[in-house]
C-alpha cells in the first residue's frame, strides 16, 4: 500500500528520489544515473520503453546497461560530458538481455562484458558461479549479484560505500518505485522474482530500477 508518497512493504518503506538526486558519491566508488529509464503504454496497445543507464566510477569505470540502440548518440554524449569515451569503460554489465538494456554493447569492444550469467572479454568466456546463485565480486565494494525472475538470468550490481549507503543497480528486478501493479505481468517467474526483490529490499539502501527514478529503502 502507499502512505505519504511511500510504498509500504511488510518490513520496509520505499520512497522515490527526484531528478536532482541521481548522483551517489562515495569512496572509492560513486554511482551516477546517466539516463532514467521509462515505460509508456500507448493507445494502440504498444508501449515505448528504454532502460536506465548507470555509470559507476572509481578504481574501475563500469557501465550498467547501455539503453537501446536508438539512444546511441545520447549515451556517447553523456559519457563525453564526463570526460569519458567508450575505451575508458573497463566493464559493461547488461542486467539482462532485452534490447532496451543491451542495445549498445558494440560500442565497447575492449571492455569486459557481463550479460546475465555470461562473462566475456573479447571471445573468451570466463567461468563463474552466477548460475549457481553466487555473486561475482569485483572487489570488496562491488559485486554482480544474480537476481532472476524477470528473465532467467537477471543480475544486479551492488555498490557499497556511497554517501547513500549500499546502492543496487537493479535492472528490471524493479520496474520503478511503484511497480506493484505491473512487475508480475512482465516476469517469467514471479515467485522467483519475489524472492530476489525481497533480498534486494533487505540489503540495499538505494535501488536504481530499470524504468524509473531511484528510490530509497527505509527499514522499520
CA-nearest of 14, 41, 78, 3 to 209 is 14
**2-122+135-219 fold:** Metallo-beta-lactamase; Chain A (3.60.15)
**Contacts (Cβ under 8 Å, ≥6 apart) of 217:** 12, 13, 14, 201, 204, 205, 206, 207
pLDDT tens track of the chain, all 220 residues? 444 455 555 678 999 999 999 999 999 999 999 999 999 999 999 999 999 999 999 999 999 999 999 999 999 999 999 999 999 999 999 999 999 999 999 999 999 999 999 999 999 999 999 999 999 999 999 999 999 999 999 999 999 999 999 999 999 999 999 999 999 999 999 999 999 999 999 999 999 999 999 999 998 7
- Rg for the chain, CA atoms, rounded: 16
Instruction: Note the pLDDT of residue 189.
Output: 98
Alpha carbon distance 67, 59 (integer Å): 24
**Contacts (Cβ under 8 Å, ≥6 apart) of 73:** none
Domain range list for the chain: 2-122+135-219
User: Is the whole-model pTM more than 0.75?
Assistant: yes
Alpha carbon distance 204, 191 (integer Å): 20
Instruction: Note the pLDDT of residue 1.
Output: 41
Instruction: Note the pLDDT of residue 36.
Output: 98
Amino acid at each position: 500500500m502507499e502512505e505519504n508518497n511511500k510504498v509500504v512493504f511488510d518490513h520496509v518503506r520505499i520512497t522515490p528520489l527526484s531528478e536532482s538526486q541521481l548522483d551517489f558519491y562515495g569512496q572509492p566508488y560513486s554511482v551516477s544515473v546517466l539516463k532514467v529509464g521509462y515505460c509508456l503504454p500507448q493507445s494502440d496497445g504498444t508501449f515505448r520503453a528504454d532502460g536506465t543507464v548507470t555509470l559507476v566510477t572509481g578504481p574501475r569505470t563500469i557501465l550498467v546497461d547501455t539503453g537501446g540502440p536508438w539512444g546511441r548518440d545520447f549515451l556517447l554524449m553523456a559519457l563525453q560530458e564526463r570526460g569519458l569515451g567508450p575505451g575508458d569503460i573497463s566493464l559493461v554489465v547488461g542486467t539482462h538481455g532485452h534490447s532496451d538494456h543491451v542495445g549498445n554493447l558494440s560500442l565497447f569492444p575492449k571492455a569486459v562484458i557481463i550479460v546475465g550469467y555470461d562473462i566475456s572479454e573479447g571471445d573468451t568466456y570466463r567461468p563463474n558461479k552466477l548460475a549457481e546463485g553466487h555473486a561475482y565480486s569485483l572487489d570488496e565494494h562491488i559485486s554482480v549479484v544474480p537476481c532472476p525472475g524477470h528473465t532467467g538470468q537477471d543480475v544486479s550490481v551492488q555498490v557499497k560505500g556511497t554517501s547513500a549507503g549500499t546502492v543496487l543497480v537493479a535492472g528490471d528486478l524493479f520496474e520503478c518505485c511503484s511497480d506493484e501493479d505491473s512487475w508480475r505481468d512482465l516476469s517469467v517467474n514471479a515467485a522467483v522474482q519475489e524472492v530476489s526483490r525481497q533480498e534486494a529490499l533487505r540489503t540495499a539502501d538505494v535501488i536504481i530500477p530499470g524504468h524509473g527514478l531511484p528510490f530509497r529503502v527505509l527499514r522499520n
